[in-house]
Structure 1
Amino acid sequence: MSEEEVKLLVHKRGACAENQRDAQERKYEEFEVLYNATCLVIESLKDALSTSQIISVAQPEAAQQSQVIVQQQSLRAPLPTFDGKYEHWPRFKAMFQDLMSRSSDCDAIKLYHLEKSLVGDAAGIIDSQTIQDNNYAQAWTILEQRFENKRLIVDLHIRGLLNLKRKTKKSSKELRLLLDECCRHVENLKFLGQELLGVSELFVVNVLTAALDKETREHWESTLDHGVLSMYSVTLKPSPNFQKPYGQKLTNSVTSPSSATCELCSGQHPNFKCSVFRSMTVSQRIAKVKECRLCFNCLRKGHRSNMCASEKTCTKCSQKHHSLLHQEYPDVATIIPEKQEVEATSQAVVNATKTPAEISSEESVSNALVSHVSTQKPRFPLKEVLLLTAVVSLIDDSGRHHSCRALLDCASQVCLISSDMVRKLRKQPWSTNTEDVGITCKKKVRQGIIVTVASNHSEYKVDIPCLVMPQVSGIIPTRKIKMSKWHLPVNISLADPEFHSPKQVDLLIGNKFFFSLLKSGQIKISDDMPLLQETIFGLVVAESVDVPQQNVVLSNVVTENIDKMIQKFWEVEEVPDAPSTTTEEQLIEDHFMNTHRRDDTGRFVVRLPFHESVTKLGDNRALALKRFLLLEQRLQRRPELKQQYEAFIDEYEALGHCCEVNEAADLADVKRYYLPHHAVFKLTSSSTKVRVLFDATARSFGLSLNDVLQVGPTIQNDLLTILLLFRWPQFAFTADITKMYRQVWVDDCDTSFQRIFWRKTPTVPIRVLELKTVTYGTASAPFLAIRSLLQLAKDEQADFPEAAVVVCDHFYIDNVLTGADTETDAIRLRDDSRRPFASCYQAVCPVADIEVV
């Protein structure tokens, strides 16, 4: 039968009933697939047979056998596969197209091979119509449109480099896996035309070495020449010392610390470990370093300290020199006296008692010390900048003038006044809520005031709004300035006649008013004297003056006492001690351990933990009945609410969590309590919008139920700890326990304390129901539910150790937040965490799939 006859026969669907048309279509499609596959196989066999025959005619018998074997092997050659991952697409495309370009197969066979090469997520991407039409070019178009995204592929490889898994221990296997992973991403980037050049090469080296474990990193560092940048190609081809198995001692005579030659004593150890060098005084060490031409910072040869690439500095002063060369220097003025003659004279007197060798050695030390000090920046300024101060008058509401020392500050956005000055003015501040931010501190300001400022040298007055602070600034200046060499003009009006004396400042005038106070006049006394600037308040002294070197610099920022700041810091950062167990908490723990049990189904049964005051529990039946009747009237007015409320109670009863009781059968000595209940709306809930809340605080005569119940301690991790643990795994999941409180039964002896009134319509008698499970709203409910959960973890720990850890450390009330480092482990942990609950809890419901966090 020919191909046309077959198709004609298949398409004769007129005899097919209408209800069998779909089944017939499916059969037809299955036949088409089988038919096309068969045709491809036949075509390949025909091509192989024809090629074999041509070769057998043209070649001798031996050669014929060889050529036929080659042809058959080309047909059975393994083809590259593509799993649908974008980063694997470029290499697959290049390999497959190169292989097909060497083949003489028709497009139908090439399409057949292409479809078989698509596995995993890539399988089935080529549609059936393209396959049916044997359209090899269209198939490639489909694949290229889907996976030809160079930017996305490059991003995937860069992300792979950034997420290289850090080695946790020294292991040649882990090291090889790390290098293979890095090389795979780098080679793929090169294949995409993204070569490692310049900074990108250093970047990859940094990422790769950061993933090494500490010991391997140290070994690698020891193979590098000091200060030389390590290239990627060099990093992947470490020195023979680095390639030695772990446990063997490195023997690199140039870079290995274990065999380095000391430049100071020629011993086999690093310079800084030289015992002879360490036994010297600091001055002798400095002289020795200079003599050997070593770096002052790393004690190695070949460069100066200002060119040293080492990030390490002195541990005592953080300056760029080695800690072994640290010396508490006196002031520069004492090291390099102004008069060399004094130095020469004093040195001659000392040298008279020393040998020529000692004199030569100490001269070297002195020269090294002076050279080193001269290259260091002064730790503190040798000049003090004078801040602009002026004495002004503040006018109170009675018109009286109060003298006040003010600071003119163009760098302040606000004006400030001290609370002491406000009290002198007897003004009532207004409330504000402002934050005053300085260079090193931040303060809340609660009050403000408007003050009238008047000049003592003119009729100038201005109202200035100020923020009230306990202290405006520190003492200005920080020390008294000697003015014996100053020659100020006689007839001048200084804004602050005692500007040179340290005094308190009570007013700060900021940028808003600063420039309006300045005038154009200036007086320059001499080149070595400060400038006098004319202002509305008089002449102010500006610029800087020479003062003895000091250890205090004023930055015009009021800070708290450093001891108090450090104390506050440690108080905030301090981890609280684990709270000790109180007597009451121990009693409720003992009560749980002595009274809890598990029934035949595995569920926990607990007793309510009462105080001794349970005898004072009041009779609240009448109150609970009254509140139920009010609730019933409310539900009658709102049918939708009534419907949801009834559904809640019906479910409660259907699950066996409550049962009806006959009050007439109660014994005379039975204690009982009736729980009023009402509806609570929770619009954010995805399941139940209306929940029933039971009120255990209702009292009529005597105490309420919650008054006689013990609350219990907090026995779960706090939310912050759980969230921090949740951030640790790479793959995470969340879940919760369905109706957690109602999974725990209350002993029959105590259910009489959990009674409610209920009926669906006012036309039927009121029923009394007893709640048989731990009830939300009672004081002890959280402890009993959570304590049962932890007891479950303890009971099932032997069979489910990982799940027990999850229950103990990762649960917050009824919600769990946890995960694992791999997706497989996370799924296994999720499934294992459900199993301990199978016998005693209805379900642990996942609220989110496994996710990468």
Structure 2
Amino acid sequence: MDIIRINELIKSQENDYIELKRTWDNIKKDSSSRKNQKYITERRAKLNSVYERASQNHRLLQDQEILSTHKYLTLNYFDTHIQTMYDAVIDHLKECEDKLHQTKKVSDIKINDDKQEDMTISPKLFVQKYRLNQLKKKIETAKTAVVQQKPAWQLQALINNLEKLFQDIEETHIQLLMEQSTIDDEYFNNDCFTDAQEQFEEIIQDLHEQINDKTVQTSRNHPTKLPRINIPTFAGNYESWNSFYDLFKKIIDENCTISTTEKMQYLKTHVRGDAEKLIKHLTVNEVNYKAALTLLENRYKDERKITQTFIDKLIDLPKIQTPNAKMLRNMHDCINESLEALKTQNINISTWSPILTRMVNRKWDPDTNMRYEDQLQEPNKLQDFKELMKFLEKRFKSLESSANMTTTNDLHSTYSPNMQGKTNWQEKKGLCWYCQKDHNIHYCQAFKALHVNDRIRKVQEKQMCYVCLMHDAKKECISNKYKHCEICNKAHSTLLHRNTNEYLLAKQQGQNSITKNTNQVTKPGTSTTYDHKSQITEKKKIMTHATMQLHNSHKTILLATALVQSKTFDGTPLLLRVLCDQGSEASLCTEEVAQLLGFPKQKIKAEINGIADNIPKTSNYMIDVTLQPRFPSEYKLSTSLIVLPKLTSSVPKENVQKLDPQKIENKIIADPTYYKQGPIDIILGAEEYSKILLQGFEKIDSGIISQNTEFGWILSGFCSTEPRNTIKILSLITRADEIQLNKFWELEDITENHQLNKEDQQCEQFYKDTTQRNKNGTYTVRLPFKDPSLEYGNTRQKAAARLIQLEKRLEKNKKLREKYNDFMKEYINMNHMIKVNKTNNYEGKYYIPHQPVIREDALTTKLRCVFDASSKSNTKISLNDNLHKGPRLQQDLATILLRWRKHKVVFMADIEKMYRFIKIHREDQPFQRILWRWTINQPIEEYELTTVTYGTTAAPYLAIRTLQQLATDEQKTYPLASKITLEDFYVDDVLSGDESIEKAKYLQNQLTNMLRAGGFNLRKWSSNSAELLENIPVENVDDKTIKLPLDENRKSLGVIWAPNEDSFQFKITITTTENPTKKNIFSEIAKLFDPHGWLQPVLITMKLLIQEIWISGIDWNEQVPERINKKWTHIQQQLHHIEKIRIPRWLQYTTGVPIELHGFSDASEKAYGAVVYCRTKVNNTTYRVSLLQAKSKVAPKKHKTTLPRLELCAAAL
């Protein structure tokens, strides 16, 4: 099971708990009079449905190895939340059922009776009376809790609820006092607010007294309310055992008011990891408590290991490079903590002073050490370690104060005209002068993200030293670390060198040059682009580096990945997959992850190199996030992520064999799915990589190494797998131009017969089982869900944000707003969209964002609304993700056009609003909800689309399948129309005809009547015969086509057909560019749509040009060489002649006339091709030869092929 599905199930469990709790709250609010047998039965059925779903999901989650240390299982979420809530509600319903026939007490205030009376009064007053009634009920509940001596945490929860409710009552009371119309109401006459206030204050006082009594017996009369003591969770580390054990003994073990069974439950809920596994087999009861505590004591009350742990902490203190208050403070605290812990183990550390002093001297930074030496009174004598610790505390406090002063001064830097842009910066070594964060300028990602010219300009503006970048340029540079440029050895910083990309990339990867060994793959990192002139050379090297041939290789690279936890802006937990890339300067994330996290965006301008085809990728913003291990840990990594549309292809490239479990036993693997192909959400760069590293490095298998990190053990190296021809390291999102080019090449391939797979067969069967034909002849269909029970989360929030964004666009274009409003009105008037009530329950609903699209070339509707059913929610799931696409039902365009050419008299038409005349079943309409309002001053309203909706994955299949179902249902009544519908339709366009006017008219009439029987209307009729159009209603005829002017052309699905000449033509629109790039040329060639290959003599020239460009190795956005530019310019200048080509549509074929097919093929060293003609006998002396289809391909350059072999390839075409 993949990560996305696991996140979905966990989110579903949270939603099910919320649903159970909501049901419980509603039941408690309902009066006793409502709780009859029907009420109880309905609620019980609903609860059982939710519980059954949650139980099934729980069983799935229990089987996932990846969740063995996840909070869902370690905190036993199902039992403590879902099971407990379900049992409570079911028990309450049972009590209600038992008391159903007993005498019921009537409460003093009947809100149901009051509602009828209060509907005529002020809405605020009605709400106020309702809240007073709720307050009275809660007060009664609180009194019962006090009498029954409920636990302190329950009493505190009651206080919080009461205080919140009374705050609302108090605010509404003030508003009512300002409304003169409500003064005479009984609410004021009986002084209801004062009575409620007195009761509220009295019960709050009682609750507080009860809590104080329960906290500590000796503090019963103490006026101070002490905070609650929380017992820390013990995860199996020896250093925290003593503190955990002592606190647990005092609060739980020695507490006589707690039963032994409760103590056992407390113990099991306060241990994690190895400690939890140690007592996991013991069930919660009185007998097992002492046994569990003894097991833990025997394992972790180990004086030797505890001592070793704290000594290791002293020895492994991190080396501090530059003065840093935070790191010095951490050092001070770590030393104190370790020494105090050693004292508790009865270890005499009084003689350790010289050893500890020397140890610390070697760990702190040179500047701090120099200051320590300067303040010594007697430097020749042994120093007291206590004095050193006093100095260390004084030192980090001094640095903290200095940092605060520097920040204040920086924020209030003053400018004057005489200073010419100079800023009065105070030097501070530990603070970055560019971003004001706590790091050295040389480690500033924001500064590195700038172009080298921008970096130089920033240094000039701040007048910083060009060599070390650390202090004022007027001072003499005394830096030992940054003496000169590491590339050219000149007196300036390496970050200011104008040709740094290749050097930095090689340095980060631990090599001096790009590897040339094609049998080894080294992962390239990402780096910022510094100099435009160096990009061409460098890009070539990185491209070679990134896509290398692995001949006869059966290995693939396993990159270091980890699963981490993060939280969204609203606190929702999220499981993410990260790639640890020590070769990357920057840390990156996908646009999708940035949207899911929802954190504020910080504007930047950064160019990233080393991703995919090595085209510089521009990012406009970054986000700050915090990442945590997927298992219980106090570690948190706060970092900034530069946002890109997409990062890498799947990692690993394909599934690999799992490692031997014994070799990774007792290790928490950072990514338990390391062997499965999957997407990457985040790339952690070199700086973050160094922060998460821990001690521990091991070679597990031949070619595989493991490295210990804060996120667990990461795995990397070579793995055995199936042979592959090419390995792609990183790849960015596919561009629209590349997709268009792919379609261009697809036309060159022969389409194979489409066979229904298992999924298609299921989709077909579902359609047959669920589709209904209505009384008026129309059809109602169901949405073909992959998983009908799947929940999409909160999609309304994103739909609302998209609506507000759309409204801003419409406000700028009043004409567009008017047209869009008209479109929506038409939807409502035709009952294709109905208004529904707003709800806060998102279960079983999906909100679709929408936007207008203008099509100036459209013959009818210029504006249409596009519904984005691919918009993902916070669960990373969209409606389209859960819909079957359905099988391909119609033939390809080339086949339909070829058959169309046989008819002497032809016609074209399309079905008006085909999708919208097919109804969606009422139960599925909530999955097609949209948000809309006519002006920004109105509240946002909710609507449901009632018909098949353009933009959903299943829409084309449902529409075409319904059209074919109509043909099947009406086959006996309209046999000819049925045959045409099944063979001559391409989506909603029909291209058909016959050999005479009479037959064509009969066919036309039958087709119109059959479609009308299914609720469809044919329009935009065109024909090569004016007589055929005479009987068509005026509103369904294209007027321009009726007149048949000489210059009037009609596009037929990308192929232009001139009805007056009855011939096919081409309209060429080429965008000329002065300095074309590879992308410009490829995208222009891809626009030529030639399904039958009629333009192959022209296209083969372009294919040869594509081959030449590809062999040259230039980048996608790189300008082509001059020789290629000249060839392309020459082709462009000649392309307008294509518009003069005429291909007769009719093949001169009639029934009974002999027809012959003639095929030709040929080859050269550059290319090969084939063409097919048909030869038709017109009369005894005349024959007509027509071009049917042609294909051509370029000859391969890499592997030279002989001419005879190329001729065989041509014959195979």
TM-score range, shorter chain: 0.3 to 0.5
State TM-score, norm by structure 2. Answer: 0.23
State TM-score, norm by structure 1. Answer: 0.32
Q: Which has the larger radius of gyration?
A: 1
